[in-house]
Amino acid sequence: DAGVIQSPRHEVTEMGQEVTLRCKPISGHNSLFWYRQTMMRGLELLIYFNNNVPIDDSGMPEDRFSAKMPNASFSTLKIQPSEPRDSAVYFCASSPTGGTYNEQFFGPGTRLTVL
Amino acid sequence: SQKIEQNSEALNIQEGKTATLTCNYTNYSPAYLQWYRQDPGRGPVFLLLIRENEKEKRKERLKVTFDTTLKQSLFHITASQPADSATYLCALDENPGANNLFFGTGTRLTVIP
């Protein structure tokens, strides 16, 4: 298995532009997580899905952020409009079941820079 | 408020020694605790999970302890090697039955040859 796939790996954009980050979880995993990592705040959970349904989006910073999971093999995180403070590394992770105790498998991340 | 603290931002040790990393938490009642390793430019990689009713767990040169009274986990790497140099993150579940994790800010370990 190729693991969790994220695209793009790097994104540089200007303030006000729309940014879409993409994630393909590991096949068979039915939980998907979006995280943001910065030096100041560390790794923060933004939102997670079980069986394509959003379960907890309390970590989404504001209405400019939205996430979708139209099917079991694809998810997007969109920022519109983007701001310089959104610059961070965004990770997607998946987990094999919707229950507890399961390890999470992380993708390589997308490094976002908003100028 | 809930908080997860890892003892230091950076830890340097000599090759062959045992590295000990600390994770302390407040205002959580986790059912389990996980440790991850993160290399520069990569996502975290799962290492070990320990449940609340387990005192200790081992995997090769790694050992994790979990003291729910002290609200602390210790992560040990014995016979450390330069290849162990990385950032190590602890993570807790929000509450029993939750599937999401809260991560500490990590400790950057450097093993000096």
Per-residue pLDDT of chain B (113 residues; tens, 9 = 90+): 668 889 778 999 999 999 999 999 988 778 789 999 999 999 999 999 998 889 899 999 999 999 989 999 999 999 999 999 999 999 988 665 566 788 998 999 999 99
Contacts of A44 in chain B (CB under 8 A): 103
3-state secondary structure of B83: helix
Question: Cβ neighbours of residue B56 under 8 Å, at least 6 residues apart?
Answer: B50, B63, B64, B65, B66
> What residues are paired with B50 via a beta bridge?
B33
Torsion angle of C-alpha atoms A76, A53, B103, A60, degrees rounded to 10: 60
Cα–Cα distance measured from residue A75 to residue A99, given in angstroms and rounded to the nearest whole number: 20
pLDDT for the residue B28: 78
Distance CA B49, CA B92 (A): 10
Mean residue pLDDT of chain A comes to: 92
Residues from chain A contacting residue B41 (CB–CB below 8 Å)? 108-109
Q: How far is B89 from chain A (nearest CA, A)?
A: 9
Q: Output the pLDDT for position B63.
A: 97
pLDDT score, position A1 = 65
The pLDDT tens digits for A95-110 are 986 555 678 999 999 9
pLDDT at A82 over 70: yes
Is A68:A10 a contact under the CB 8 Å cutoff?
no
**Cα distances (angstroms) measured from residue A34 to each of A103, B85, B109:** 15, 26, 26
What is the structure's pLDDT at B97?
59
CB pair distance less than 8 Å for A45 and B44: no
Considering only CB atoms, which chain B residues are within 8 Å of A51? none
- Whether A45 sits inside 8 A of B46 (CB atoms) is no
Q: Among A26, A33, A53, A100, which would you mutate to test the B interface (most chain B Cβ atoms within 10 Å of its Cβ)?
A: A100
pLDDT above 90 (res A43):
yes
